[in-house]
Amino acid sequence: MAFGFYKYQTQSFFNLQCAQALNQTIDPYERSRSKTPISNDAVVIGGTSNAKLAQGISQCLGIPLAKSKVLRFADGETHVKILDNVNGKHIYIVQPTCTPVNDNIMELFLTVSAVRRAGAASVTVISPYYGYARQDRKHYWNVPISGADVAQILEFMGVRRIVSVDLHVSQAQGFVTSNTTFDNLEGGFAGLNYFLKEIPNKKDIVIVSPDAGGMHRAKIFHGHFEYHGYGADQIGLAMIHKERKEANKVDSMQLIGNVQGKTCIIVDDMIDTAGTLCEAAKTLKENGAEKVYAFATHGLFNGTAAERIANSVIEKVVTTDSIPLKDEFVKKVGNKHGLVSLDLLLAETIRRVHQKESLDELFQVPYY
């Protein structure tokens, strides 16, 4: 079996090099796209925070979700029971820790505990949206680093791998010791695929970072177009410099770059109240942009986000399904929102982790 894994990895690397040399497209997700069944010692458990995404992942893996039961007692306690056999199995728990964050985190902790106590061989947490990620450092001497605390609790409980997508800060991967692997996947591939189909004239595209801190992410997204034949001389890059008076409130914005007559795509890791996003779009239009789109991996859409987007100059806001959308938001925002799924990405990650294969292609090949 070890030889089989080595053979696949060697062949995979060889295929990537040949495809690049011949300017051909390879599909890293071929097995998951065709729903090729994974081995029966892998068990996928879907938490209650995003049941639809968990179902999509299990379908791509060609196996059913494991049966489990989650109850909420009258006093607020959570009770988890695993109904299928997990003894000696490799467990993959799909549970984004989105709103209600604390309830979903506690459910995750208890699910890990349940499978560990039931004899699971290993536990991997698939949490595309990682709650508390924004609390990643000490602004004052008397505050916690909550993102690190959550990761360390998971590690203490026996989780040996955490898989997330577009962490707010990549250094969050260092919240655990070397005993636990913390993967930070890129959700931009799913968004890239959407815009390749949506925007006919690629030479009019300008990728825009909404702030200086997001410029690295925008550059990566910008670079992905080259794989599809659109080089840096064709796709533009710009940045908006913003000054804040306080959280979620921007005092002023200044554009760095040229967007005159262009189709702009604002790229960010998450959208919370959408105030900054809508102001950024307004700034781009004031500077001559023809159309403005936005892509963010995580759509939190809190507060008046729906109303702001619906009344904004933005053509469409595209997010992934890392967080389930509220029905009220979908109704208010109408056709100004587009959704792309992470099911293929997360399913293929589980497949490769389980079969001890390299994840390189999932980082190197911007094809989805």
How many whole angstroms separate alpha carbon 143 and alpha carbon 363? 35
How many whole angstroms separate alpha carbon 126 and alpha carbon 112? 12
Q: Is 153 exposed, middle or buried (0-12, 13-18, 19+ CB in 10 A)?
A: middle
How big is the chain by its Cα radius of gyration, in Å? 21
Beta strands 161-165; 122-126: pairing state: parallel
CB 273 within 8 A of CB 308: yes
C-alpha count within 13 angstroms, C-beta hemisphere, residue 74: 0
How many whole angstroms separate alpha carbon 331 and alpha carbon 1? 51
Q: Is the peptide bond preceding residue 210 cis, with omega within 30 degrees of 0?
A: no
Cβ-proximal residues to 117 (8 Å cutoff; 6+ apart), any chain: none
Cβ-proximal residues to 43 (8 Å cutoff; 6+ apart), any chain: 66, 84, 86, 89, 90, 91, 92, 120
Cα distances (Å, whole numbers) of residue 292 to 199, 262, 319: 11, 9, 15
Closest CA to 280 of 341, 321, 238, 337: 238
CB 43 within 8 A of CB 90: yes
- Residue 242 falls in the annotated catalytic set: yes
Q: Residues 242, 282, 285, 326: which is the catalytic one?
A: 242
Using DSSP's 3-state secondary structure scheme, residue 254 falls into strand
Catalytic (active-site) positions: 242
